[in-house]
Amino acid sequence: MSTGPGEAAIGLDPAAAAGYDSHPPRMGFFTDTSVCIGCKACEVACKEWNAVPEDGLLLTGMSYDNTASLNASTWRHVAFIEQIGPRPDDARADGPAPAPPADGAAAHEAAGGPRWLMSSDVCKHCTEAACLDVCPTGALMRTEFGTVVVQDDICNGCGYCVSACPFGVIARRESDGGAHKCTLCYDRIGDGLTPACAKACPTESIQFGEVDELRERAQRRVSELHERGESRARLYLEDPNDGIGGAGAFFLLLDEPEVYGFPPDPVVTTRDLPRMWRHVGAAAVGLAASAALACLGWRRGQS
């Protein structure tokens, strides 16, 4: 089971690229943060269904966020961003001219009033997944649904995936030494059920479905928001031509990705791996040549 460097040209069907002859459609999440109310039902449902252990009970001081980030024992993480005071208008230049605000809240925000952004983060289930590429044991695998899961009985806790993930999703759990992350509820979707977080979401901020269909839905939603005057709405990771080949779990955001703690333009590290190996090869040849050069012409008694 060896995969080609970078998995560059696998397009939208990662399951087929991983060797599934016939497989169900690619499944994923569309997280529409514009309707997230920060209830954290997703965090709780995920913990309960997947029996994910407690991850520290702490008060971070980061608004209502007390899980801080995705982690080995936090597979859904709700971010809270309090924006108080005016914000630069540069993002507005990209979209259509704002329509007259329809209601008080929109008018308030359009005028730069405070707003409270909430967003439920999750593993992106990348089309080109760095964690999967670098895993030396084959513990990380691509499922027939095009998602990426860790096989816990194989993972030896080497930690390579942790450094490879461009989103800081996967992590090693101290209590058992293994790497853990969202499975997109592999056990549920195989039985035709909706993943726990999407099932529990009361506002349909987290939508589960076939990735192709979710992309269309996301495009409709972002157009609708632009028409309503929310020109800062944008889709994140839905583009199959981006640096990770598009994500299986993508987002509608109301500000720049880095505001939510996302990298603005992530690129899977293995795209550069062919060049890395070429340079390593050249360095190895140079090292051997130096050893030969250092030893040439030596005779006993000479110094």
Instruction: Please name the residues in contact with 151: beta carbons below 8 A apart, sequence gap of 6 or more.
Output: 138, 139, 140, 141
Q: Are 68 and 205 in contact (CB under 8 A)?
A: no
Amino acid at 80: F
Asked if 162 interacts with another protein (CB under 8 A), we say yes
Contact pick of 87, 116, 183, 202 for another protein (by CB under 8 A): 87
Q: Which of 197, 265, 205 is nearest to 236 (CA)?
A: 265
Rounded CA gap, 125 and 242, in Å? 14
Q: Which is nearer to another protein, 100 or 192 (CB)?
A: 100
Binding to another protein (CB under 8 A) within 250-279 occurs at: 256, 258-266, 269-270, 272-273, 275-277, 279
206 in Cβ contact with 42 (< 8 Å): yes
First to last CA, the chain: 52
Tokens standing for 300? 């006993």
Closer by beta carbon to another protein, 235 or else 259? 259
> What residues numbered 107-146 form the site for another protein, per CB under 8 A?
107-108, 110-113, 130, 133-139
Q: Report the residue number, 127 or 214, with the smaller CB distance to another protein.
A: 127
Q: In this chain, which of 178, 194, 210, 228 binds another protein, going by CB under 8 A?
A: 178
Residue with tokens 């495009």: 219
Q: Is 79 near another protein (CB under 8 A)?
A: yes
Residue 51 vs 299, nearer CB to another protein: 299
* 28 strand-pairing partners: 209
Tell whether residue 37 is a contact of another protein (CB under 8 A).
Answer: no
Q: Binding residue for another protein (CB under 8 A) from 35, 69, 186, 210?
A: 69
Smallest separation, CB 8 to another protein (Å) = 11
Toward another protein, which CB reaches closer, 137 or 223? 137
